[in-house]
Amino acid sequence: MNLNSALYTDLYQLAMGQSYFLKDKHEISATFDYFFRKNPFEGGYVLFCGLEEVLDSLEKISFSEDDIHYLEAQGFDSNYTNYLKTFKFTGHIQSMSEGEIVFPFSPILTVSGSIIECQIIETFILNSLNFQSLIATKASRIRYIAGRDKSLAEFGLRRAQGFAGLQASRSAYIGGFDYTSNVLAGKEFNIPVSGTMAHAFIQSYDDELTAFRDFAETRPVNCVLLVDTYDTLKKGVPNAIIVAKEMEARGEKLLGIRLDSGDLAYLSNAARKQLDQAGLDYVKIAASNQLDEHVIRSLKEQYAQIDIYGVGTNLVVGKANGALDGVYKLCSFNNTPRIKISENLKKMNFPGKKQVYRYMNQDGQYIADAITLDHLDTPKTMAHPFETHKRMPIEYASVKALLHDVMIDGKRVHTKKTTLELVKIAEENLSKLPVEHKRFANPHVYKVGLSPELEQLRDQLKKEKLDS
Amino acid sequence: MNLNSALYTDLYQLAMGQSYFLKDKHEISATFDYFFRKNPFEGGYVLFCGLEEVLDSLEKISFSEDDIHYLEAQGFDSNYTNYLKTFKFTGHIQSMSEGEIVFPFSPILTVSGSIIECQIIETFILNSLNFQSLIATKASRIRYIAGRDKSLAEFGLRRAQGFAGLQASRSAYIGGFDYTSNVLAGKEFNIPVSGTMAHAFIQSYDDELTAFRDFAETRPVNCVLLVDTYDTLKKGVPNAIIVAKEMEARGEKLLGIRLDSGDLAYLSNAARKQLDQAGLDYVKIAASNQLDEHVIRSLKEQYAQIDIYGVGTNLVVGKANGALDGVYKLCSFNNTPRIKISENLKKMNFPGKKQVYRYMNQDGQYIADAITLDHLDTPKTMAHPFETHKRMPIEYASVKALLHDVMIDGKRVHTKKTTLELVKIAEENLSKLPVEHKRFANPHVYKVGLSPELEQLRDQLKKEKLDS
């Protein structure tokens, strides 16, 4: 299956494309904004992820001969399918950096091009960015609560949503995880891989000790022994200690043991004591079993002695949300700002081509973002986006524009960033987000406002539409 | 990215593989069971989905030269990586049919082969079957509540979990949906595609009526007009009626209108009235906006006049679960039954190679399933799997074995089923599941029991392990 096929879209994009084409409107210029309305996980931010994949695909997207035949068989007009044969994305994309911290209602990525190309690529952009940003955000929350001194390993592939497991592993790494168990993702995205052993390995032996011995002998580097197959404290840990001592005698060191069931807080403390009493204070304790940021917080509160957290399902499927509500809305057509009317002000989009400025204090910490019309100066005051009577002067030490050119005429402007570069960018950005926006319960709402000119344009267009 | 790479696995499978290989245990025969422990969605069953994809992949799975280099760079032993160069899956798979109704703790698919091949393919099997069964099950619940006379369209690609969107569309179709908006999935899996129009199309015009006119003129077949861009009842529906009448004058028929916001029960009734008064009783009403089985149930309770339900996010991400808890457990090694001990009887596996029998009443409705040891006759009584004092005689009119050979020596036994064949199989199987197992609130628990011989084997192995 060719994932760069332009058929990776919703049928209605192609149906609207046909109408634009047959009415000779398809080359009219348009701009669409990608943004979301609600932070996932009842949190205070989103970590933006997936841009490089989108740019990769947009450089390659096309309809194969096969794809064209399929569309003809679906009853599409032959002049139109003939046009699609040479379809390429030739538009202009401005975006925030992958690894940027983003907030509701700010345009994160904007696509400008002919209306037809903007529509055909919509579905893929949403599919890619919504999911990867969701998972990177989840991962960053787990890193936040675990702390920088713990190791975090993602091993969700078996419960991931099918092929999404590959994107999940990359997103988890960018969000702050150290390792993945997903070998294909490790290879494709250059993510450090890690893994321990399964119960089946131990069950394939008559006894646990021989299983541990054989495993340690054949894989001494980064060896982690799973100790809960029969009885964690009475059999598993004592057997691991025997093997660790045998490894010492060979000049090797056991990396750790893994707990995968039972009361992890209690077992980790008891296992730590047994290991320490055996002089094995260097042997780490890894734990897994339905972990997420909330369970890890609870384990830390109970002084669990865990060095390595293995997180699977809850991370890679982005529980409890499962989806980020990102949307892609027309804000300009034929170089004229456009608005969609709704009874709910929050459901209206901000018209026109825009820029987002981020304001920082003297420590470089993020204070507020202002959305303004493109090519205007940094605003000094901003309006609340929906509570129209609220105004705020902005006091700041420095400011930066967040949207910058990433693709012009369908070609990347900069070289592709490596996954490791994105990890560093995300980590630095997260360090600039004040802690009150990171906490889990009722995080402080980060201020995103409108410049006076943008607010005025919205109000004017709204009035015109309602009067018409 | 090659999705048939044998690197589509967890690192620990390859690490255990190395230990088996270096200890010359890798060719020892093993059998693993795929099963799950808990029905998703607080429901009463799972619709099994994903088998054909698994068989496709197992026929092709291998390590490329590139993959081997990657493993060498990860420090794997060169004798072992040399062995992996010619790795193929050559094992034996027994499975229930794709589209079968399955219940907790029954083996759904079993893999027999050398221990090393069984382990390497574990992760992909879980990844593929867990997700697709989850989505097919969700889809079947939506079909159940919507009824057979409604049309169901899946259009979740924009919020699907990345590439999983392709598998989700196929699974939704097998679970009972009529259409997908996902064009690539439509082409690859031969699923009927459908689509309407987006707000952006209407916004690209100065007025809604011209937008409707142009769309209907350029796409008259299966034309559905989106009526909520400005004001559903005052503008959208009246404009759609004008266009429908113009279509009638050209000898065409408007298929429908779509509601995408607001109170769908109220709006659908008001729109129905306007359409009927205009003599347009053939124009259907489609509705979308965060639908799932519970919202559709509520809409039906309110006598909403909706003919076509469009379902997206909640279906394709399998809300609220996000994952099926399927596992893959060693039940036989070197032709000897194996068990994993746990304090919790539910966490122990059923040892040995097994068969599952399904009992039916004189109407062909499913009554109960019995898990038994392979090659034994149909049991006439069964034991509760965990409440060990409970016994049940089985009264039935007919019985069938559910596990059958699907792959021998790494090759498919039968030709691949088409997606449409699977749709029919699933529909027929669902029709045989009594309604009390389909209801949403506290569904009746379908009885799955153990044959006396299997219960005895489990108890004997448990005792041996605990005594050792």
Whether pLDDT at A430 is above 80: yes
pLDDT confidence of residue B2: 86
Range in A72-86, A333-347, B362-376 the model is least confident about:
A333-347
Left if phi > 0, otherwise alpha if psi is -120 to 50, otherwise beta: which for B22? alpha
Handedness of CA B385, B391, B395, B401 (dihedral sign): positive
* Confidence band of B388 (pLDDT split at 50, 70, 90): confident
- What pLDDT, in 10s, does the model give residues B233-260? 999 999 999 999 999 999 999 999 999 9
C-beta separation of A139 from A322 below 8 A: no
- Compute and round to an integer the Cα radius of gyration of chain A: 26
Instruction: Identify the burial level of B301 via C-beta atoms within 10 angstroms of its C-beta, where 0-12 means exposed, 13-18 middle and 19 or more buried.
Output: exposed
Side chain identity at A356, as an amino acid letter? V
Residues of chain B neighbouring A318 (CB-CB closer than 8 A) = 161, 322
Instruction: Identify the burial level of A79 via C-beta atoms within 10 angstroms of its C-beta, where 0-12 means exposed, 13-18 middle and 19 or more buried.
Output: exposed
Handedness of CA B215, B220, B224, B228 (dihedral sign): positive
Whether pLDDT at B431 is above 80: yes
Facing residue for B187 by CB, picked from A7, A127, A196: A7
C-beta separation of B250 from B262 below 8 A: no
Per the structure block, which two tokens stand in for B127?
A: 């990844």
In this complex, how many residue pairs, one in chain A and one in chain B, have their CB atoms less than 8 Å apart? 292
Q: Is A217 helix (H, G, I), strand (E, B) or coil?
A: helix
The helix or strand, by DSSP H or E, that contains position B371, with its residue range, turns out to be strand B366-373
Residues of chain B neighbouring A11 (CB-CB closer than 8 A) = 181-183, 186, 193-195
Are the Cβ atoms of B195 and A1 closer than 8 angstroms? no
- What pLDDT, in 10s, does the model give residues B33-69? 999 999 999 999 999 999 999 999 999 999 999 999 9
Facing residue for A15 by CB, picked from B10, B166, B197: B197
Closest CA to A423 of A106, A143, A125: A143
Distance CA B424, CA B434 (A): 18
The helix or strand, by DSSP H or E, that contains position B356, with its residue range, turns out to be strand B354-360
- Residue B336: count of CB within 10 angstroms of its CB: 11
C-beta separation of B374 from B33 below 8 A: no
Range in A171-175, A203-207, B52-56, B308-312 the model is least confident about:
A203-207
Per the structure block, which two tokens stand in for B298?
A: 């509520």
- For residue A62, the 8-state DSSP code is B
C-beta separation of A79 from A436 below 8 A: no
Chain B closest-CA separation from residue A28 CA (Å): 10
Are the Cβ atoms of A161 and B203 closer than 8 angstroms? no
Q: Domain limits of chain B?
A: 11-135+321-467, 139-316
Are the Cβ atoms of A198 and B16 closer than 8 angstroms? yes
In three state form, how does the secondary structure of A34-53 look? Answer: EECCCCHHHCCCEECCCHHH
- Residue B426: count of CB within 10 angstroms of its CB: 26
Alpha carbon distances (Å) from B451 to B384, B392, B448, B454: 9, 10, 10, 5
Residues of chain A neighbouring B130 (CB-CB closer than 8 A) = 158-159
The helix or strand, by DSSP H or E, that contains position B257, with its residue range, turns out to be strand B256-259
pLDDT confidence of residue B467: 81
Are the Cβ atoms of B221 and A75 closer than 8 angstroms? yes
Q: What is the mean pLDDT of chain B?
A: 96
Distance CA A9, CA A16 (A): 12
Whether pLDDT at B376 is above 90: no
- In angstroms, how far is CA A406 from the centroid of its own chain? 19
- The topology (CATH level 3) of B11-135+321-467 is nicotinate phosphoribosyltransferase (3.20.140)
**Smallest CA–CA distance from A179 into chain B, residue:** B11
**Smallest CA–CA distance from A54 into chain B, residue:** B162
Instruction: Identify the burial level of B435 via C-beta atoms within 10 angstroms of its C-beta, where 0-12 means exposed, 13-18 middle and 19 or more buried.
Output: exposed
- What pLDDT, in 10s, does the model give residues B257-303? 999 999 999 999 999 999 999 999 999 999 999 999 999 999 999 99
- What pLDDT, in 10s, does the model give residues B73-108? 999 999 999 999 999 999 999 999 999 999 999 999
C-beta separation of A369 from A66 below 8 A: no
In three state form, how does the secondary structure of B294-320 look? Answer: HHHHHHHHCCCCCCEEEECHHHHCCCC
Are the Cβ atoms of A200 and B16 closer than 8 angstroms? yes
Overall average pLDDT of the A269-289 stretch:
98
- Residue B411: count of CB within 10 angstroms of its CB: 11
Whether pLDDT at A401 is above 80: yes
Cα angle value A222/A223/A228 (rounded, 5°): 135
Mutate to test the interface with B, among A183, A222, A226 (most CBs of B within 10 A): A183
- Residue B262: count of CB within 10 angstroms of its CB: 18
- Residue A404: count of CB within 10 angstroms of its CB: 14
- What pLDDT, in 10s, does the model give residues A126-179? 999 999 999 999 999 999 999 999 999 999 999 999 999 999 999 999 999 999
CATH superfamily of A144-316: Aldolase class I (3.20.20.70)
Side chain identity at A384, as an amino acid letter? H
Distance between first and last Cα of chain B: 48
DSSP H helical ranges for B85-229: 115-120, 122-146, 164-174, 183-189, 199-203, 208-218
Distance CA B250, CA A239 (A): 83
Closest CA to A194 of A149, A214, A174, A224: A224
Residues 6 or more apart from A377 whose CB is under 8 A from it?
Answer: none
**Smallest CA–CA distance from B320 into chain A, residue:** A320
Side chain identity at A29, as an amino acid letter? S
Asked whether the ipTM of the predicted complex exceeds the cut of 0.95, the reply is: yes
Distance CA A41, CA A51 (A): 22
Q: What is the mean pLDDT of chain A?
A: 96
- In angstroms, how far is CA A167 from the centroid of its own chain? 9
Percent of chain B's residues with pLDDT above 90: 93
DSSP H helical ranges for A78-121: 78-84, 115-120
Distance CA A25, CA A253 (A): 69
Chain A closest-CA separation from residue B163 CA (Å): 5
Side chain identity at B6, as an amino acid letter? A
CATH superfamily of B139-316: Aldolase class I (3.20.20.70)
Are the Cβ atoms of A184 and B5 closer than 8 angstroms? yes
Whether pLDDT at B465 is above 90: no
